[in-house]
Amino acid sequence: NAGVTQTPKFRILKIGQSMTLQCTQDMNHNYMYWYRQDPGMGLKLIYYSVGAGITDKGEVPNGYNVSRSTTEDFPLRLELAAPSQTSVYFCASSYLRDSYNEQFFGPGTRLTVL
Tell me if 89 sits within 8 A of 34, measured CB to CB: yes
Q: Which of 90, 91, 110, 93 is closest to 102 using CA atoms?
A: 93
Shortest distance (Å) from residue 59 CB to other proteins: 9
Q: Tell me, what amino acid is at 10? A: F
Within 13 Å of residue 3, how many CA atoms lie on the same side as its CB?
10
Q: Which residues bind other proteins (CB under 8 A)?
A: 4, 31, 33, 40-43, 45, 48, 50, 56, 58, 90, 92, 94, 96, 99-108
Shortest distance (Å) from residue 64 CB to other proteins: 16
Query: 26 vs 79, which CB is nearer to other proteins?
Result: 26
Query: 82 vs 105, which CB is nearer to other proteins?
Result: 105
